[in-house]
Structure 1
Amino acid sequence: MKLKDREEKEFLCHIEDIMSHSEVKKMKQFMQHGTTDTLTHSYTVAYYSCWVCYRLGIKLDIRSIARGAMLHDFYLYDWHIPDKSHRLHGFFHPAKSLKNAENHFELGDLEKDIIETHMWPLTIRKIPKSREALIVCFVDKICSLVEIFTNKKLD
């Protein structure tokens, strides 16, 4: 499951500033699932979310999908280490990620929706409002399961 050359160039163009940002690079320091760090996880979710959108063949905002997915876990701490500041991580990290993203990037409404609602249905009141956010939400779950149960990222 690979993006076509043109699709991959477009995808990388959409996230170039995010990938080169010093705060985003810090995501590499924190484990997400298994042996996958948070930056790699976010990149994988962004990549496959775009792949799904291209394959669906319907008009979707690929730029917002790529950017929102890259920032969906931009919380900058290790949630595996017990700490009162990130208790109930699954419920509260979308808001922390959104706040960090807003502090470092200009975000559109779709990007905000993607970041804020990616943990649905766990965050029962934060329901994806767009097809783009719903796709990222589901791709995030699939990538997470692969990382947890196979100790690998999707190839």
Structure 2
Amino acid sequence: MQKAIFSRVDLTSDNDLLAKEFVSCIQDLIEVDDVQELKAFSQHMDTSRFQHSLNVSYYSFLFARKFRLDTYSIARAGLLHDLYFYDWRTKNNRPMEGRHCAIHPLIALENAKKACTINPVIEDAIVHHMWPMTLHMPKTKEGWLLQAVDKYCALSEIILQGSRKVRYSRAAVSFLTICSFATQIWK
């Protein structure tokens, strides 16, 4: 664990108070074998599932901090939201039948419950992070935030490694992603 993609913050730095605050939320989870195992799975192009989860965790934490939401729960949910152990691109080795976008949040939640204590905010964020690919919307502000940050991180990871012929502005992607959930957060 060094940093989130696009971030300049070294998460291992003892001198950075923000990094220390973030790491204090997830320190026990980082050392769990199942979380470490995510490094072996590709998520988006060359980004590992662990790196993707770290990205979602860190950026969700930053937004939650700014909006005065539950930073502890959202950082943990971000790290655990894709805690499953199969290649999502194939139907081989899936522990249950169904579309990947519908089943993997349920599998991730069960695996997260084995790794640590889960509160209702963490559960909501994990189970509903695939909205609108699934019909069930988040019920908490943190759930809404995490699902939007998950989409932002996925797009960023793909764009970062994608074709050099296509140019995207990180600011434009960020703006559109934030707009996609901003109206829901303050309902």
TM-score with structure 2 setting the length = 0.74
Match of residue 16 from structure 2 = 5
Q: Which residue of 1 aligns with 2:65?
A: 54
* Contact 1:2–1:51 under 8 Å retained in 2: no
Q: Which runs of 5+ in 1 are unaligned?
A: none
Q: 1:120 to 1:24 in 2, by over 3 A?
A: same
Alignment-derived partner of residue 49 in structure 2:
38
2:91 and 2:142 map into 1 onto residues whose CA distance is: 33
Which among 74, 86, 102 is matched to residue 91 of structure 1? 102
The alignment of Structure 1 onto Structure 2 pairs a total of residues equal to 150
Q: Which structure has greater helix proportion?
A: 1
1:127 alignment partner, one of 133, 137, 140: 137
Cα distance in 1 for residues equivalent to 2:30 and 2:93: 29
Q: Which has the higher contact order (CA 8 A, sep 6+)?
A: 1
Segments of structure 2 that go 5 or more residues without pairing to the other structure are 1-6, 10-14, 163-169, 171-187
The answer on whether the counterparts of 2:86 and 2:93 sit within 8 Å (CA) in structure 1 is no
Q: Deviations over 1:22-44 (max 9, x none)?
A: 11110000000011010000000
Contact 1:46 1:65 in 2 (8 A): yes
What is the identity, as a one-letter code, of the residue corresponding to 1:40? Q
TM-score, structure 1 normalization: 0.88
Hey, what does 1:69 align to over in structure 2? Answer: 78
Distance 1:84 1:64 in 2: 30
Which has the larger displacement, 128-137 or 81-90?
81-90
Q: Given residue 33 of structure 1, which amino acid in structure 2 is its aligned partner?
A: H
RMSD: 2.0
| 1:137 equivalent in structure 2 | 147
Distance between the aligned counterparts of 2:111 and 2:86, measured in 1?
12
Any conservation in 1 of the 2:53–2:80 contact (CA below 8 Å)?
A: yes
1:22 aligns with 2:25: no
> How many percent of aligned residue pairs carry the same amino acid?
36
Alpha-carbon separation, structure 1, partners of 2:75 and 2:38: 17
Give 1:52's aligned amino acid: F
